[in-house]
Amino acid sequence: MNIKTISRPGSPKSYMTCHEDPETLHIGTLESHAYFIPFAKGQDAFAEREESALFELLNGEWDFDYYNSIIDMPDDFIKQGRGRIPVPSNWQLHGFDKAQYTNINFPLPYDPPYVPDDIPVGVYGTDYQYSSNGMRRILCFEGVDSCLYLYINGQFAGYSQVSHHTSEFDITDLLHEGTNRITAAVLKWCDGTYLEDQDKFRLSGIFRDVYMLSRLENRLENYRITADDQGRLAVCATGAAAKLRLYDKDRLISEGEVSEENSFETTVENAKLWSAESPYLYRLEIETDNELIGERVGFRKVEITNGIFKLNGRHIKLLGVNRHDSYPDTGYYADREKMRRDLTLMKRHNINAVRTSHYPNAPEFYAMCDELGLYVIDEADLETHGCVNVYNDLKWSRENSYNGIALIAKDPMFKTAILDRERLLVSRDINRPCVLMWSLGNESGWGENMREGAKLIKSLDSTRPVHYESTHRLDDTSDDVLDMVSEMYTSTEDIRKFLDREDEKRPFILCEYCHAMGNGPGDLEDYFEVFSSSDRLIGGLVWEWADHAVILGYTEDGKPKYGYGGDSGERHDDGNFCMDALCYPDRTPHTGLLEVGQVYRPVRVTKGSTADSFIINSQLRFIDAGEYLSCKWEITSSDGKMSEGEFNFSVPPMGSSEIVIPEVSGSFEKDSYIRFIFTAKNGYSVFADGEEICFEQIKIFTSQKAISPTNGKTPEYTETPLEYTITAGDKRYIFNRRTAQFDGIFKGDKNILARPMQYNFFRAPVDNDTMKQDWYSAHLNDYIIKVYETSISQEQGCVVISTSQSFGWSIHQPFAKMQAVYRIDGSGINVGCEAEFSNKVELLPRFGLRLFVPKDYDDVAYYGYGPYESYIDKHYASYVGLFRADIADMHEDYIRPQENGSHYGCTEMSVSDGATKLTFTQPEGFSFSASQYTQEELAAKRHNFELKKCEHNVICADFKMAGVGSAACGPQLADKYRIPLPKVSGSIRIEIR
Ligand code: GAL
Ligand code: MG
């Protein structure tokens, strides 16, 4: 609908003609430039920006009117006063409109440059006090989704789009002395919406800080700083001339002047270089006639030589994460505290890189990355992957010339807008040392517009390489303007194949990998190994940092009820695909983040040249790990700690050093381990001195595995056609011949089994269990048992029950046939079984026993991988040790409930009610979980807050448990983490004490 035809000529509304015009992106805005905030002379220009006398933060409660449709918005919408809203925020989180979570699919019909007629609009208003003092007033919006029309005192002042970029309006000429009205009409959709199809909750409004700058007409407009690894500093500027003073801490080391005509150049002797490991920053003071600007300068050089990505002349690995601006309480708004919390948490988990997926973050984010030491892949506000689904019955093909994801990348209509986004990215962040590369955007295909975008970036900045993943050269257009090959979710085998390619000389980066959805990822270490295998590999960034959620309400104990796609009544949604991260929405680490912290650790230890020596290998590139880390060690077995010690060491960057621990050559009886625990010293990274950073556990002694003994007097048994009863002292076992299950395990007159002991083949699918439909169609979760035969006999020291049975359902043949033998002695049962699975089961989640025990069996002890949940492919944050836990604390509370809390590599586990203890042992190792929830309950519920506890405690003793992998958006679970089929055997000893 043409707004002009429905509005009074000259009315504020009649100016709304830009949002469906792809050539009109900004009206009345200043030219984009490097981010800086001027301070008044005499001020500390390095203070927080709110301290500046020239800066007024306009955040706060603003007037707010919401219209479901721009058509129904009155001509005089400027006069408002119905509601209030905090600025910054997203209006969907304040009762207006509703949040929609969609990943690929566009939230509107694909009809560019048009958007639906009924565009929701939020009209924001606030008063501004002005008294003229010869200074211009520049109104800055750091982020508005999707576009804004600005009015000052009812007069049209400008228009701007590109949600994640600063729009600056010089509004001075529209101001009068005293109270002035600022009105921003924000539209939910504009033609830019097609370029902002990022995988996130689609939220609207003024979502970043708004402020006013007071500056002279004749002012410093822009400047560019380059500082390299030779200590060379160059500054060029436009606008007013400035004096420059460079300080190392408080020491003035160089000074000079810069003007449009003359740039400033100086060389710092023995400059301390900037890196993530040692983020050393110099201070540059820029002084004009009335302003002082504080810049932090990092000397560093990024280059790619011979296919190797380097910082300061050394190859570095990016061990990173992808981060979205997403918070359940404030939506897209990250204040400084939230940014710092995220970045500090990354550093605490040894993450050294962050990709601002898939748009630039707020400017202050980069200053923090400079300071804390994080490498940034700075990405333009661009993603158009919805193009793959826009034609109802057309799939991409060369013949029909529908190029799928590249539709927009090739469409001349969007060329101006795409180039605008690339320019905005580079011009704002060009001075930040943390930015190591520019990224053209995400999943927008490859075509002329993207090629031109890459060329534009190169013309603006020759000091950083250009990254882009979505080339998929469907029409063979060369992507040689890109400096590296980027892929996502590539398997480790395919990365190895890349290294063999003769035709490709560029380095390789995995801009997304290890999709961290739900319980996972399970392949971090495998990727680390590949990354380490070649300097051609730049490394990778885990998808993604934090789960996106909306708050649906609160539980009785005041905890937020987190919702995901489909919980807000969306027209269409992508479910819980937004809960795919290393942190819960409130930034509590998932166990996946703990895995990251351990896999990305700065030092690793391997066995040395002699039996008692070890080698410390440093992963650090620029600093001596020994200068910042101390090491404690301990030798343990299932009996606990046997010896311990500590030492200091020195190891050059990327080097190694050998240490000797004589205690390792002592004599051991049981499986024994040494664990090296590294703690921080001398202010390492964000860690407090003495805090643990990482560890390494190495097995130093493997004992002979004893066959489980049979204990005590030979039990007695009686049999009926339906039941065997076995008595051993005060213990009694009831074996049901009809189901081939133990119905009762009695100690005295108390039955420990609240339900019959079952074979268990199912787990509540984790998000990565993409084959879960096969499990349901085979009915692994609710099988019918057929018993072919049961027999009982007495042998030396025990009673032996043998069975032959199968498990199946309707329609198909049984999915498994099994032979089992139970040897019952004076103190327990040795279970042994062998099953053969039909080809209906391609990937078996687990194979083991499930026991329901009374609620008061809640005290769990185990010897195996703990204290965190652990799986065959996800146990790096855990180590082998003796752990004890209350069953209530063994649940990992995934927002979409799923299998959790397993412990891998256990040789013993027990659960006790204080009087009686049920113990499982298997010297070869097994997995177990102890939970208050059944797998059926975990599988059935959409949200954690809907979970109901089982009336019994559920103990799963798994002979085998499959890995968790990262298949939700990555390669299928590797063979080595699967349960080998079709034949699987299991054995375990169950004791009752
Ligand atoms: C990738 C995409 C990300 C995210 C992820 C799935 O293809 O680049 O933005 O959508 O898939 O979680
Ligand atoms: Mg995507």
pLDDT per residue as tens digits for the range 323-337: 999 999 999 999 999
Determine, yes or no, domain membership for 594: no
Note the pLDDT tens digit of each residue in 859-870.
Answer: 999 999 999 999
* Atom in ligand 1 nearest the alpha carbon of residue 577: 12
d(CA 198, ligand 2 centre) in Å: 6
Determine, yes or no, domain membership for 276: yes
Contact 597, 526 (CB under 8 A): no
pLDDT band at 487 (very low <50, low <70, confident <90, very high): very high
Does residue 793 surpass a pLDDT of 70? yes
Mean of pLDDT values over 703-718: 79
pLDDT of the residue at 82: 80
Q: How far is CA 940 from the centre of its chain?
A: 25
Judging by beta carbons within 10 Å of its beta carbon (0-12, 13-18, 19+), is residue 731 exposed, middle or buried? buried
The number of the ligand nearest the C-alpha atom of 104 reads 2
Note the pLDDT tens digit of each residue in 437-458.
Answer: 999 999 999 999 999 999 999 9
Q: Do 560 and 633 have their domain in common? A: no
Does residue 653 surpass a pLDDT of 70? yes
* Atom in ligand 1 nearest the alpha carbon of residue 515: 12
For position 448, which CATH number holds?
Answer: 3.20.20.80
| DSSP annotation string for 819-856 | EEEEEE-SSEEEEEEEEEE-TT-SS--EEEEEEEE-TT
pLDDT of the residue at 753: 98
Residue of the CA atom closest to atom 9 of ligand 1: 199
The domain boundary, picked from 300, 320, 349, lies at 300
**Could you tell me the residue range of the domain that residue 285 belongs to?**
220-300
Does residue 710 surpass a pLDDT of 70? no
Contacts of 88 (CB under 8 A, 6+ apart): 59, 143, 205, 206, 207, 208, 209, 210, 330, 332, 333
pLDDT band at 478 (very low <50, low <70, confident <90, very high): confident
The number of the ligand nearest the C-alpha atom of 470 reads 1
Note the pLDDT tens digit of each residue in 24-71.
Answer: 999 999 999 999 999 999 999 999 999 999 999 999 999 999 999 999
Note the pLDDT tens digit of each residue in 888-899.
Answer: 999 999 999 999
pLDDT of the residue at 392: 74
Residue 627 appears among annotated catalytic residues: no
Q: Do 142 and 154 have their domain in common? A: yes
Mean of pLDDT values over 728-750: 97
Determine, yes or no, domain membership for 260: yes
d(CA 483, ligand 2 centre) in Å: 22
Q: Do 767 and 828 have their domain in common? A: yes
State percent of the chain over pLDDT 90.
95
Mean of pLDDT values over 809-821: 96
User: What secondary structure, in 3-state letters, does 570-602 show?
Assistant: CCCCCHHHHCCCCECCCCCECHHHHHHHHHCCC
Strands 784-795 and 758-760: unpaired
Determine, yes or no, domain membership for 314: yes
How far is 160 from 73, CA to CA, in rounded Å?
20
Residue reference for tokens 């080809």: 839
Mean of pLDDT values over 88-97: 98
d(CA 198, ligand 1 centre) in Å: 8
Residue scoring higher pLDDT (76 or 752)? 752
The domain boundary, picked from 653, 670, 701, lies at 701
The domain boundary, picked from 181, 215, 249, lies at 215
* Atom in ligand 1 nearest the alpha carbon of residue 103: 10
* pTM, entire model: 0.97
Structure tokens at 194: 């097609």
Residue reference for tokens 């040897």: 823
For position 177, which CATH number holds?
Answer: 2.60.120.260
Determine, yes or no, domain membership for 324: yes
d(CA 534, ligand 2 centre) in Å: 28
* Lowest-confidence segment of 79-93, 530-544, 819-833 by average pLDDT: 79-93
Q: Do 198 and 290 have their domain in common? A: no
Q: Do 273 and 360 have their domain in common? A: no
Q: Do 211 and 224 have their domain in common? A: no
Nearest 5°: the CA angle 16, 20, 21 is 95
d(CA 592, ligand 1 centre) in Å: 18
**Residue 151 Ramachandran class (φ > 0 left, ψ -120 to 50 alpha, else beta):** beta
Determine, yes or no, domain membership for 710: no
* Lowest-confidence segment of 95-104, 389-398, 426-435, 794-803 by average pLDDT: 389-398
Q: Do 251 and 333 have their domain in common? A: no
- Ligand 1, residues at Cβ distance < 6 Å: 103, 199, 357-358, 442-443, 488, 512, 515, 543, 577, 580, 969
Which mutation among 104, 326, 357, 443 tests ligand 1's pocket best, with the greatest number of atoms within 8 A of CB?
443
Q: Do 375 and 515 have their domain in common? A: yes
Contacts of 749 (CB under 8 A, 6+ apart): none
Which mutation among 104, 383, 512 tests ligand 1's pocket best, with the greatest number of atoms within 8 A of CB?
512
Counting the structural domains of the chain, the total is: 5
Does residue 393 surpass a pLDDT of 90? no
Which mutation among 196, 199, 515 tests ligand 1's pocket best, with the greatest number of atoms within 8 A of CB?
199
For position 633, which CATH number holds?
Answer: 2.60.40.10
Note the pLDDT tens digit of each residue in 666-703.
Answer: 889 999 999 999 999 999 999 999 999 999 999 999 99
pLDDT band at 535 (very low <50, low <70, confident <90, very high): very high
In the set 20, 295, 443, 469, the catalytic residue is 443
State percent of the chain over pLDDT 70.
99
Mean pLDDT value across the chain: 96
pLDDT band at 395 (very low <50, low <70, confident <90, very high): confident
pLDDT of the residue at 121: 98
Residue of the CA atom closest to atom 10 of ligand 1: 199
Q: Do 827 and 950 have their domain in common? A: yes
* Atom in ligand 1 nearest the alpha carbon of residue 511: 8
Does residue 600 surpass a pLDDT of 70? yes
d(CA 357, ligand 1 centre) in Å: 9
d(CA 422, ligand 1 centre) in Å: 21
pLDDT of the residue at 404: 86
Q: Is the dihedral of CA 193, 198, 202, 203 positive or negative?
A: negative
How far is 746 from 735, CA to CA, in rounded Å?
12
Q: Write down the H helix ranges in 534-660.
A: 591-599, 625-628
pLDDT band at 476 (very low <50, low <70, confident <90, very high): confident
Q: Do 383 and 310 have their domain in common? A: yes
Q: Do 258 and 240 have their domain in common? A: yes
The number of the ligand nearest the C-alpha atom of 322 reads 1
Give me the residues paired with residue 792 across strands.
801
Contacts of 915 (CB under 8 A, 6+ apart): none
Residue of the CA atom closest to atom 11 of ligand 1: 969
| DSSP annotation string for 266-311 | EE-TTPPBB-SSSB--EEEEEE-SSEEEEEEE-B--EEEETTEEEE
d(CA 736, ligand 2 centre) in Å: 54
d(CA 769, ligand 1 centre) in Å: 18
Note the pLDDT tens digit of each residue in 189-224.
Answer: 999 999 999 999 999 999 999 999 999 999 999 999
* Atom in ligand 1 nearest the alpha carbon of residue 443: 8
The number of the ligand nearest the C-alpha atom of 469 reads 1
* Atom in ligand 1 nearest the alpha carbon of residue 580: 12
The number of the ligand nearest the C-alpha atom of 405 reads 2
For position 878, which CATH number holds?
Answer: 2.70.98.10
pLDDT of the residue at 708: 58
In the set 383, 469, 512, 869, the catalytic residue is 512
The number of the ligand nearest the C-alpha atom of 518 reads 1
Residue 277 appears among annotated catalytic residues: no
How far is 298 from 619, CA to CA, in rounded Å?
22
Q: Do 322 and 288 have their domain in common? A: no
Which mutation among 101, 102, 103 tests ligand 1's pocket best, with the greatest number of atoms within 8 A of CB?
103
* Lowest-confidence segment of 77-86, 489-498, 845-854 by average pLDDT: 77-86
Determine, yes or no, domain membership for 707: no
How far is 279 from 371, CA to CA, in rounded Å?
6
d(CA 99, ligand 1 centre) in Å: 19
Residue of the CA atom closest to atom 4 of ligand 1: 199
pLDDT of the residue at 450: 96
pLDDT of the residue at 584: 98
Note the pLDDT tens digit of each residue in 362-371.
Answer: 999 999 999 9
Determine, yes or no, domain membership for 595: no
